[in-house]
Amino acid sequence: MPSGDRPDFLMAGALAALLFLGLMTVYSAVPEEGMFYHQLWMVAVGFVMMLAAYNFPLRLLEELYPFIYLPVMVLLILTILYGRGPAGRWLVIGPLHLQVSEFAKLAVILVSARWMPGMKTESSRWSTPLFLAGVFLLVMLTAVQPDLGTAVAMGMIILGMLYWAGFGFRWIFLFVSPFLAALSSIGFGWWLLFTVMLCAVLYRDRAPTWKWVFITTFNTTVAALTPVAWNLLRPYQRTRLTTFLNPAADPQGAGWNVIQSEVAVGAGRFYGQGFLQGTQKTLAYLPARHTDFIFSVYAEEFGFLGSMLLLGLFLLLIWRILLAARRSMNPFNSILVAGIAFYFIIHLFVNIGMAIGIMPVTGLPLPLMTYGGSHVITEMIMVGLAMNAARNWRSW
């Protein structure tokens, strides 16, 4: 039922509740360091940006994507050259501290939404390589910063968008083939099996000769260079991956964060220890408690019951975003909003998975909760775009 220009109040309500809980948890995690006020200011800035996204014509956004893509690419390059912070991921411009990789996620979603419909309706001889090159460049620039976790998240978001756009198994297999090629480098037998599968997909797709040559050469090169790339990873990146497999192997070192996070989550029990009463963060046993492990602080203080409330709010937000994507008649709008939904799904799963020890510590934020301005502003812009696409149907 059309509603004219009526916003989706359920989506807005879920957003407001999550922001409120996020501010409460940041205050509890670091009450003495003034980070709460910085986060409150970032939420205010995000609200203004969200209103702008809500009122911006999506048809115009579809045409203006190069003016978002190119500045983000330049900022990523500047971050690689002049980045600061513990891992060199922040670009400092005067008083601004930008984590450009957060804005790059939005750029990847936008570029994917712009090109995917054309890949099915136009000749893909040039559109497909241009799309792949464009998103691959953003993902690789993000990985080189280094921000490997965000780069992997970008790839997962694109996979979800390909599925939503109606691309079949062959497309998805070809898109993930570089990742599979990298995994196949562990042994010649695995590489041979992967190559046979790749050739079978190309044969069934009746790919032209140029595509055979390009894809097989590219994936063979990736497989050959993967051992070299592993040795080029920074020590903390290799440690994060190996700690995921067995955090107890180094309980006083690399596994400390994961073990203490699990202790904090378990200490919350059913009802939680109460706001500001968490012992793990009070005694400073839990590192990165306002960033990577913000969920552990929340779960310890509000328990299983509070965690279910939090997950329920996230599911409500994601459901409304997916509903907006499904009901949109414009392919660009639908794929764009679906990409936003996959952003929240992937970040929610990975961050909470980090806190309970089922996912590697990648540094992905818990949306709308983790301390930090760049990701909160980006997420509020995304919700504004989703609400923009949902304006033509009744919110109930």
pLDDT band at 396 (very low <50, low <70, confident <90, very high): very low
pLDDT at 395: 42
**In degrees rounded to 5, what are phi and psi of residue 277?**
-105, 5
Mean pLDDT of 191-210: 80
Q: Which region among 73-77, 136-140, 359-363 has the lowest average model confidence (pLDDT)?
A: 359-363
**pTM given for the model:** 0.84
Core vs surface per residue 78-115: b (16+ CB within 10 A) or e: ebbeebeeeebbbbeeeeeebbbbbbbbbbbbbbbbbb
pLDDT at 86: 60
Q: How far apart are CA 98 and CA 209, in angstroms?
A: 44
Rounded to the nearest angstrom, the gap between the alpha carbon of residue 234 and the centroid of all alpha carbons in its chain is 21
pLDDT at 220: 84
* Amino acid letter for position 162: L
Rounded to the nearest angstrom, the gap between the alpha carbon of residue 65 and the centroid of all alpha carbons in its chain is 19
